[in-house]
Amino acid sequence: MTTTIRKILIANRGEIAVRIARGCRDAGIISVAVYSDPDRMAYHVRVADEAYALGGTTSAESYLRQDKIIETARKCGADAIHPGYGFLAENHDFAALCRENGLIFIGPSPEVIALLGDKVQARRVAEKAGLPVVPGSVQNIEQVDVARIEAYRIGYPVLIKAAAGGGGKGMRIVNDPDGLGAALSTAASEAGSAFGDRRVYIEKYISRPRHVEIQILGDAYGNVIHLGERECSIQRRHQKVIEESPSMIVDDAMRAKMGAAAVELAKAAGYVGAGTVEFLVDENKHFYFLEVNTRLQVEHPVTEMVTGLDLVQEQFKIARGEKLSIRQEDVGRRGHAIECRIYAEDAAAGFIPCTGHLSAYQEPSGPGVRVDSGFIAGDDVPVYYDPLIAKLIVWGADRNQAIQRMRRALNEYVVQGIETTISFGRLVMDNESFISGRLSTHFIEDEFADLAESLTRSDGDIRLAAMTAALVDYRLQLRLLAVSRRAKSEENPWKISGRQAGLRKR
Amino acid sequence: MKKVQVSTADRTFAFELWFENDRYFVRGEGEEHVVDLTPLKNNRYSLIVDGRSYETGVEVASDGYIVFTGARSHRFIVEDYEIAQMKKQAGIDDWAREMLLTAPMPGLVLAVNCRPGDTVVKNQPLLVMEAMKMENDIKSPLTGIIRAVAVIPGQNVDKGQTLIEFEPWRNPEKPVPE
Whether the per-residue pLDDT at A433 is higher than 70: the answer is: yes
Q: Which CATH architecture has domain A135-204?
A: 2-Layer Sandwich (3.30)
Whether the per-residue pLDDT at B34 is higher than 90: the answer is: yes
pLDDT for A365-415, tens place per residue? 999 999 999 999 999 998 889 999 999 999 999 999 999 999 999 999 999
CA–CA separation, B7 and B29 (whole Å):
13
Q: Are A54 and A35 in contact (CB under 8 A)?
A: yes
Query: Hey, are the CB atoms on A474 and B19 less than 8 Å from each other?
Result: yes
pLDDT for A280 equals 96
Handedness of CA A341, A170, A108, A123 (dihedral sign): positive
pLDDT for A77-95, tens place per residue? 999 999 999 999 999 999 9
Size of interface A-B (CB pairs under 8 A): 156
Distances (CA, A) of B61 to A290, A461, B92: 48, 21, 20
At residue A475, φ and ψ (nearest 5 deg) are -60, -40
Residue window 123-182, chain A: list those with CB within 8 Å of chain B: 169
pLDDT for A103-124, tens place per residue? 999 999 999 999 999 888 999 9
Residue of B nearest to A450 (CA): B123
pLDDT for A354-363, tens place per residue? 888 898 999 9
Confidence of residue A491 (pLDDT cuts 50, 70, 90): low
Residues B38 and B89 in one domain: yes
- Structural domain contains residue B171: no
- State the CATH number of the domain containing residue B24: 3.30.700.30
Q: Which CATH architecture has domain A335-460?
A: 2-Layer Sandwich (3.30)
Asked if the bond preceding A246 is cis, omega within 30° of 0, the reply is: yes
- Structural domain contains residue B13: yes
- B3: which residues sit within 8 A by CB, 6+ positions away? B14, B15, B16, B17, B80, B81, B82
- State the CATH number of the domain containing residue B104: 2.40.50.100
Residues B15 and B81 in one domain: yes
- Structural domain contains residue B175: no
- Structural domain contains residue B178: no
At residue B150, φ and ψ (nearest 5 deg) are -95, 0
pLDDT for B173 equals 46
Q: Are B109 and B157 in contact (CB under 8 A)?
A: yes
Whether the per-residue pLDDT at B63 is higher than 70: the answer is: yes
Of B1, B84, B13, B6, whose CA–CA distance to A472 is shortest? B6
Whether the per-residue pLDDT at B172 is higher than 50: the answer is: no
Whether the per-residue pLDDT at B175 is higher than 50: the answer is: no
Interval B84-89 mean pLDDT: 87
Among B70, B94, B118, the domain-final residue is: B94
| Alpha carbon of A355: minimum distance to chain B alpha carbons (Å) | 7
Name every chain B residue with its beta carbon within 8 A of the beta carbon of A390: none
Which string of DSSP letters, residue by residue, matches B105-169? SSEEEEEE---TT-EE-TT-EEEEEEETTEEEEEEPSSSEEEEEE---TT-EE-TT-EEEEE---
CA–CA separation, A490 and B124 (whole Å):
59
Best interface-test mutation with A: which of B68, B94, B129 has the largest number of A CBs within 10 A? B68
Residue boundaries of the structural domains of chain A: 7-106, 135-204, 208-334, 335-460, 462-505
Q: A60 and chain B: CB distance < 8 Å anywhere?
A: no
Whether the per-residue pLDDT at B128 is higher than 70: the answer is: yes
CA–CA separation, A317 and A329 (whole Å):
19
Residues B82 and B137 in one domain: no
Q: Are B122 and B81 in contact (CB under 8 A)?
A: no
Q: Which residues of A254-265 are buried (b: 16+ CB within 10 A; e: fewer)?
A: bbeebbebbbbb
Interval B136-164 mean pLDDT: 86
- Please classify residue B145 by burial: count the beta carbons closer than 10 Å to its beta carbon, then call 0-12 exposed, 13-18 middle and 19+ buried: middle
Least confident of A127-141, A287-301, B164-178: B164-178
Least confident of A114-118, A178-182, B18-22, B128-132: B128-132
Strands A30-35 and A50-53: parallel
- Structural domain contains residue B177: no
> What amino acid occupies position A408?
R
Confidence of residue B134 (pLDDT cuts 50, 70, 90): confident
Among B65, B94, B123, the domain-final residue is: B94
Q: At what angle do helices A92-100 and A66-76 cross, to 10 degrees?
A: 30
Distances (CA, A) of A462 to A241, B14, B32, B74: 26, 13, 16, 8
Q: Fold match between A7-106 and A208-334?
A: no
Residues B87 and B103 in one domain: no
CATH topology of domain A208-334: D-amino Acid Aminotransferase; Chain A, domain 1 (3.30.470)
pLDDT for A213-271, tens place per residue? 999 999 999 999 999 999 999 999 889 999 999 999 999 999 999 999 999 999 999 99
Best interface-test mutation with A: which of B42, B45, B52, B79 has the largest number of A CBs within 10 A? B42
Whether the per-residue pLDDT at A353 is higher than 70: the answer is: yes
CA–CA separation, A4 and A29 (whole Å):
10
CATH topology of domain A7-106: Rossmann fold (3.40.50)
Q: What total of structural domains would you count in chain B?
A: 2
- Structural domain contains residue B80: yes
CA–CA separation, A41 and A39 (whole Å):
5
- Structural domain contains residue B70: yes
Confidence of residue B169 (pLDDT cuts 50, 70, 90): low
Per the prediction, chain A carries an average pLDDT of 92
Q: Are B87 and B96 in contact (CB under 8 A)?
A: no
Which H or E element spans position A280?
strand A273-281
Among B39, B70, B94, the domain-final residue is: B94
Residues B12 and B61 in one domain: yes
Distances (CA, A) of A459 to A366, A455, B133: 24, 6, 30
Whether the per-residue pLDDT at A429 is higher than 90: the answer is: yes
pLDDT for B168 equals 65
Q: A199 and chain B: CB distance < 8 Å anywhere?
A: no
Q: What ipTM did this prediction achieve?
A: 0.75
Residues B63 and B11 in one domain: yes
- Look at residue A203 and give its three-state secondary structure: strand
pLDDT over 70, % of chain A: 95
pLDDT for A284-333, tens place per residue? 899 999 999 999 999 999 999 999 999 999 999 999 999 998 999 999 99
Q: Which domain holds residue B132?
A: 99-166
Distances (CA, A) of B102 to B93, B118, B125, B164: 19, 18, 14, 7
Q: Kindly calculate the radius of gyration of chain B based on its CA atoms and give it in whole angstroms.
A: 20
- A432: which residues sit within 8 A by CB, 6+ positions away? none
Residues B107 and B156 in one domain: yes
Q: Active site residue: A295, A341, A370, A405, which one?
A: A295
pLDDT for A311 equals 98
Whether the per-residue pLDDT at B171 is higher than 80: the answer is: no
Confidence of residue A496 (pLDDT cuts 50, 70, 90): low
- Structural domain contains residue B172: no
pLDDT for B176 equals 43
Confidence of residue A469 (pLDDT cuts 50, 70, 90): very high
Of A277, A255, A256, A280, whose CA–CA distance to A268 is shortest? A277
pLDDT over 70, % of chain B: 88
Q: Are A168 and A187 in contact (CB under 8 A)?
A: no
Query: Hey, are the CB atoms on B123 and A419 less than 8 Å from each other?
Result: no
Residues B50 and B18 in one domain: yes
